[in-house]
Chains A and B, each alone.
Chain A
Amino acid sequence: MRRKLSLPAAVSCWVLLFAAVVAHAALAVLAVAEFAALGWPLPTWFDTTAVTLVLASAIAGLAASGRMALRATADSRAVRVVIQAGRRPVPPVVRNEAAVLGCAGRLDVVAGEEAFAVTYGLMRPRILVSTGLAAALTPAEVGAVLAHEREHLLRRDPLRLLAARLFAAWGCYLPAAQWLAGRAALRRELAADRAAAGCAGRGVLAGALLKLASRPTCPVVAAASPAGEGHQSLEARVTQLEAGRPPRQSPAVTRLAASAGTLTLLAPAFLCCAALSHLMPGGLL
């Protein structure tokens, strides 16, 4: 039987991931304090191993998410600088549709035969389209694409998706973390499609998707997209357009079970780290 993961279940997964990351960070601070107060090694080999495990895994998570945050910040700046330098006049079709949607002031156009549209920027997101987009689509379809991107812009999706990826990077030892981040990205795409369909109509949005997904993608732009995810995402988006509501996503049962198993294995180390604090001067617990 194909079981479905409802929204509350997904929210529960995020709450659990958030709690695990926060608890892990707090225990890592405690582990540093324990080593500082009690020295190396700790009273028993189990204590030493457990507290070292907590500290090492926290450092690995911090390094992974910190590296990602730094890179995303630098990347965002680099993308902005290059795009600002390469800006082109906005084609009339795009300007008219953007004016109708109220996003003309946050729109950039760059030259390019490939038809693409993206929302870029973490703190002050903007919409970027290529001149090829206006040439490839009808005015109504351009409006649908801009409505889709406006939803990303208004919800600050680049920043939200980065936050999801940062949590996933910290919790990299939990197999469900990456799945949750991918699922969050898909949910935002579906929400943007609903906004676009509400503005332009389902048929018009379907036409834009059909034309843009059928065109040969510029190899350098396509290289940034993980192979395989594009197809799954498009499948879910088409299903939503047909049904008029978001498709239910199958839970990654194996990943959830593996994550629960990992937490169960780590629990003794976490508990040991917390319990050791009573040995510290003025014991915390």
Chain B
Amino acid sequence: MAEQGGAGSILGPLEAEVMAVLWRAGKPLIVRDVVAELNAGRDAPLAYMTVMTVMSRLAGKGILARSRSGRRFAYAPVAADAAEIAVRGVLAEFGDAALARFVERAELDPRLRERLRRLMEEN
């Protein structure tokens, strides 16, 4: 199981619980499965909409990948563990003033791609 200690500082409590379920599963899950897992042994069960909102928010942050599974969406973690989420988070939030990147975000247009390909072949 992935290390959970660092997740609480990057994710909210419920977000960390959702991520723990998905990491344990090791495969994409639909919201209903996550709700069932979260509510197992819980005194006050979580509402379906609450969990769905949390998972949508995690997908919006780029922490979960969403894919269609029949008529529903299945969610899978993009990061392998809490440490990876933390690194990605600080790079995004803090990185601009404290680091130099190999390549910036770029929409690689076809002409630029062709020029690079030509350079590769010529050399």
Contacts and interface: CB of A to CB of B under 8 A. Distances in A.
Contacts, number: 179
B95 interface: yes
A71 B106 CA distance: 26
Interface in B66-123: 78-81, 83-84, 86-109, 112-113, 115-117, 119-123
A188 B78 CA distance: 32
A64 to B, nearest CB: 13
A128 B108 CA distance: 24
Contacts of B62: 218-220
B98 A75 contact: yes
Given A118-B99, A118-B101, A201-B123, A234 B106 contact: yes
Nearest to A120: B99
A112 B119 contact: no
Contacts of A158: 98-100
Contacts of A174: none
A169 B105 CA distance: 24
A50 to B, nearest CB: 34
Nearest to B10: A82
B109 to A, nearest CB: 8
Given A72-B98, A210-B113, A230 B106 contact: yes
Contacts of B100: 118-119, 149, 152, 157-158, 161, 185, 188-189, 192
A238 B116 contact: yes
B24 interface: no
A161 to B, nearest CB: 7
B61 interface: yes
A170 to B, nearest CB: 15
B97 A68 contact: yes
6 smallest beta-carbon distances between A and B, as pairs: A203-B123, A86-B83, A230-B104, A75-B94, A206-B119, A230-B106
Interface of B: 6, 61-63, 78-81, 83-84, 86-109, 112-113, 115-117, 119-123
